[in-house]
């Protein structure tokens, strides 16, 4: 996930250009007149843009594609910014080398503050480079002018390096003449030689800050890119995904010291989650769904546990272990600021010293799914009977144990005798059947002769049909998944034949996508963490060791090969 998931760019309107000029004129009286600014925008509209997040205008940028000689003159002080002439100094021919000069960059959303401002500015600069390259230019560098020392430091944090040339715009002694440029820097004499500098009033001070785009951050030393094995979504599968064809492992090297952070964090990925819903993200982008499709030729993203290696935000410090809702399945990754909220990235609170991977399993999305669905939709009452399909999976395990703690009779289904023994002997289920060998209607009649009151549906198909037959009047069905249909064509999906029972039995049948608020997530943690620590709730985990085995590990869950919550341990 990166800024392009959130930000779109549109051309500047004439009203925006006028507003930019008005705000700059107040700060920079010696700046270009409105006509010249309008000429700049008209001559290079692809480098002047408004940046939006949805319907919100986040910021604006005006940049100039200067021919390299003019760009260097600007840096040397022989060309004033206000004197740049579009007809004379701009390049317009594809293949030209240019220096992209940022005349104006402005963040307009008040909520974007501090480190996030640098994230916005870094993104804007990246967009400018892409736009210039899209016009066929060869970008030699990006430059800007900043009016303050604070601004210089902010640009340096973006990877800009100060050139050492300082421009000081001063008014004439009488105050009614034109502003005069005084320059001090390597090889130049500072001050004005008429002896009247002490009588001058400084109206503006700016620093020329060129950025070499070939080395996006400036350090006293450079570090060779680090190998970064990544789990890549290569092709939309037809049917079951094929490891090595649809899902592959590739090395995507990363510069751990210099990779831009966009106001976010650079992390080492410790664990990543494998979940059934991920199959639905392997699709044609034209097909709409509740979760976005994976990006082709990019790392698979899923919930993950990560450790911070570098931070560009006060929210997280180096060494923090975090739970990320959408993290790249790779050895290392950059998580930008927009992925932080709501609850997209949070510091792990682990007072009971539980295994870190619990926070993407029983204490992560699967656990919160079980908690929210059972209590918000199921509304369990002591003495009732609940049937949980796929009961040995990440969600089903916790649903059954929470229901048992509430005083319900708990029936489950699983795909092997080993799993059935586990949910009965280890988790305390009252009964279970093997859906591969037992007919679901017969199994439910045997295990729940008085019927069921709640059905937790993870699978759909024949088990949903059997539950609709076995459920009592005013029963509740919690629609969490339909894995039997995930890897088949629409025309081949199982057609449930007794949906009329929803009406005849006055049933509540509700699907949901987990969406806990921070407060409800805290309530969930307060309830479940102590139960895990005391052994009253258990969590079976199926770990794939090593990112090189990730394709087989993920595909395995669609075939029912996992026993418990499927997790990738990135480093074997």
- Which of 51-60, 98-107, 142-151, 289-298 bottoms out in mean pLDDT, i.e. has the lowest? 142-151
SS (H, E, C) 258-318: CCCCCCCEEEEEEEEECCHHHHHHCCCCCCCCCCCCCCCCEECEEEEEEEEEEECCCCCCC
pLDDT beyond 70 at 221: no
* pLDDT surpassing 70 at residue 43: yes
Average pLDDT over every residue of 497-525: 92
More confident residue, 105 or 544: 544
Distance CA 382, CA 428 (A): 16
Beta 138-146 vs 97-107: how paired, if at all? parallel
* DSSP states of 552-572: HHHHHHHTT---SEEEEES--
- Give the number of other Cβ atoms within 10 Å of residue 360's Cβ: 29
How large is the average pLDDT for residues 251-280?
91
pLDDT over 70 (residue 569)? yes
Cα distance between the two ends of the chain: 25
Angle among Cα 215, 217, 222 to the nearest 5 degrees reads 70
pLDDT tens string 172-196: 334 444 333 333 333 332 222 333 2
Give the confidence band of 201 by pLDDT, cuts at 50, 70, 90.
very low
Q: Give tens-digit pLDDT for 99-142.
A: 888 888 777 655 444 444 456 666 777 788 888 888 888 887 77
Q: How far apart are CA 323 and CA 315, in angstroms?
A: 13
The string of pLDDT tens digits covering residues 148-175 is 555 556 555 555 544 443 443 333 334 4
Query: Reduced to 3 DSSP states, what percent helix, strand and coil does the chain have, rounded to the nearest 5?
Result: 30, 30, 40
User: Is the bond leading into 342 cis (omega within 30 degrees of zero)?
Assistant: yes
| Arithmetic mean of pLDDT over the chain | 81
So what's the pLDDT on residue 183? Answer: 36
- Answer yes or no: are the C-beta atoms of 230 and 328 closer than 8 Å: yes
- CA pair distance 119, 364, nearest whole angstrom: 28
User: Cα separation of 28 and 82, whole Å?
Assistant: 10
Residue 563 · residue 419 · CB < 8 Å: yes
Smallest Cα–Cα separation from 250: which of 295, 299, 294? Answer: 299
> CB neighbours of 168 closer than 8 A, spacing ≥ 6?
181, 182, 183, 184, 202, 204, 205
Given a contact cutoff of 8 angstroms between Cβ atoms, the answer to whether 101 and 64 are in contact is yes
Sorted by sequence, the CB contacts under 8 Å of residue 371 that are 6+ apart come out as: 398, 402, 516, 524, 527, 528
Choose between 310 and 216: higher pLDDT: 310
pLDDT in tens, 306-364: 999 999 888 999 999 999 987 899 999 999 877 776 668 899 999 999 999 999 999 99
Of 208 and 504, the one with more pLDDT = 504
**Of residues 164 and 460, more confidently modeled:** 460
Q: Where are the beta strands (DSSP E) in 190-246?
A: 202-211, 229-233
Which domains are present in the chain?
3-211 (3.40.630.30), 229-360 (3.90.180.10), 365-519+525-531 (3.40.50.720)
pLDDT higher than 90, residue 9: no
Given a contact cutoff of 8 angstroms between Cβ atoms, the answer to whether 332 and 269 are in contact is yes
Sign of CA dihedral 91, 96, 101, 107: positive
pTM exceeds 0.75 = no
The rounded distance, in Å, linking the Cα atoms of 422 and 565 is 14
Q: What is the pLDDT of residues 67-95, one digit of tens each?
A: 888 877 776 656 777 788 888 889 888 88
CA atoms within 13 A on the CB side of 394: 28
C-beta of residue 48 within 8 angstroms of C-beta of residue 12: yes
Examine the pLDDT at 486 and tell me if it is beyond 50: yes
Q: Which of 524, 216, 569 is nearest to 362 (CA)?
A: 524
CB 461 within 8 A of CB 484: yes
pLDDT digit string, tens, across residues 237-255: 999 999 999 999 999 999 8
pLDDT class of 478 with cuts at 50, 70, 90: very high
Nearest to 253 by CA among 159, 311, 331: 331
- Within 8 A by CB and 6+ apart from 36, the residues are 82, 84, 85, 86
List, in sequence order, every beta strand (DSSP E) within 364-470. Answer: 385-388, 409-414, 431-434, 452-457
Tokens of 499: 């949906």
Query: Whose structure tokens read 């289904």?
Result: 413
Predicted pLDDT of residue 327? 86
Q: What is the pLDDT of residue 169?
A: 39
Q: What is the pLDDT of residues 401-459, one digit of tens each?
A: 999 999 999 999 999 999 999 999 999 999 999 999 999 999 999 999 999 999 999 99
Tokens coding 361: 């399993």
Contact 11, 50 (CB under 8 A): yes
Q: What angle do CA 303, 225, 356 make, to 5 degrees?
A: 25
Q: Phi and psi at residue 565, in whole multiples of 5°?
A: -65, 125
């Amino acid at each position: 996930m990166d800024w392009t998931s959130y930000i779109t760019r549109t051309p500047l309107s004439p009203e925006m250009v006028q507003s930019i000029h008005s705000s700059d004129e107040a700060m920079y009286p010696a700046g270009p007149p409105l006509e010249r600014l309008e000429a700049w925008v008209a001559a290079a509209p692809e480098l002047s843009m408004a940046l939006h997040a949805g319907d919100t205008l986040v910021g604006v940028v005006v940049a100039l594609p200067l021919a390299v000689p003019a760009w260097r003159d600007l840096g040397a002080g022989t060309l004033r910014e206000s004197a740049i002439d579009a007809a004379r100094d701009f390049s317009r021919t594809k293949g030209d080398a240019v220096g992209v000069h940022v005349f104006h960059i402005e963040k307009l959303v008040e909520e974007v503050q501090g480190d996030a401002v640098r994230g916005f500015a870094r993104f804007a600069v990246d967009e400018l480079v892409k736009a210039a390259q899209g016009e066929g230019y060869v970008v030699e560098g990006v430059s800007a002018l900043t009016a303050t020392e604070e601004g210089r430091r902010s640009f340096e944090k973006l990877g800009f390096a100060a050139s050492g040339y300082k421009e000081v715009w001063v008014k004439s002694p009488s105050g009614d003449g034109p502003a005069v440029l005084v320059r001090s820097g390597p090889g130049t004499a500072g001050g004005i030689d008429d002896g009247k500098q002490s009588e001058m009033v400084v109206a503006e001070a700016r620093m020329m800050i060129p950025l070499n785009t070939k080395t996006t951050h400036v350090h006293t030393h450079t570090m060779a890119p680090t190998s970064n094995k990544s789990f890549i979504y290569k092709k939309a599968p037809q049917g079951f995904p094929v490891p090595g064809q649809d899902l592959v492992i590739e090395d995507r090297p990363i510069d751990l010291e210099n990779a831009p952070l966009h106001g976010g964090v650079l992390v080492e990925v410790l664990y990543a989650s494998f979940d059934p819903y991920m199959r639905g993200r392997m699709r044609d982008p034209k097909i709409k769904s509740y979760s976005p499709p994976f990006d082709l030729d990019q790392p698979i993203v899923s919930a993950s546990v990560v450790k911070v290696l570098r931070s560009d935000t006060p929210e997280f410090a180096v060494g923090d272990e975090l739970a990320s809702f959408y993290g790249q399945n790779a050895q290392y990754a950059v998580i930008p600021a927009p992925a932080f909220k709501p609850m997209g990235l949070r510091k792990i609170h682990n007072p009971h010293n539980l295994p870190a991977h619990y926070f993407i399993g029983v204490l992560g999305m699967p656990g919160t799914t079980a908690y929210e669905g059972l209590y918000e939709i199921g509304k369990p009452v002591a003495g009732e009977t609940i049937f949980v399909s796929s009961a040995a999976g990440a969600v089903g395990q916790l649903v059954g144990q929470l229901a048992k703690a509430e005083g319900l009779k708990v029936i489950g289904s699983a795909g092997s005798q080993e799993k059935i023994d586990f949910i009965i002997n280890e988790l305390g289920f009252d009964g279970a059947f093997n859906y591969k060998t037992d007919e679901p209607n017969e199994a439910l009649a045997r295990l729940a002769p008085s019927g069921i009151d709640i059905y937790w549906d993870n699978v759909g198909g024949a088990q949903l049909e059997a539950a609709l037959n076995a459920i009592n009047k005013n029963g509740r069905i919690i629609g969490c998944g339909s894995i039997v249909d995930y890897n088949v064509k629409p025309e081949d999906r199982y057609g449930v034949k007794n949906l009329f029972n929803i009406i005849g039995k006055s049933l509540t049948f509700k699907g949901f996508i987990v969406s806990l608020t921070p407060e409800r997530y805290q309530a969930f943690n307060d309830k479940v963490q102590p139960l895990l620590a005391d052994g009253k709730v258990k969590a079976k985990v199926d770990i794939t060791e090593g990112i090189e085995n990730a394709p087989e590990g993920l595909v395995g869950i669609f075939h029912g090969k996992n026993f418990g919550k499927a997790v990738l341990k990135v480093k074997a």
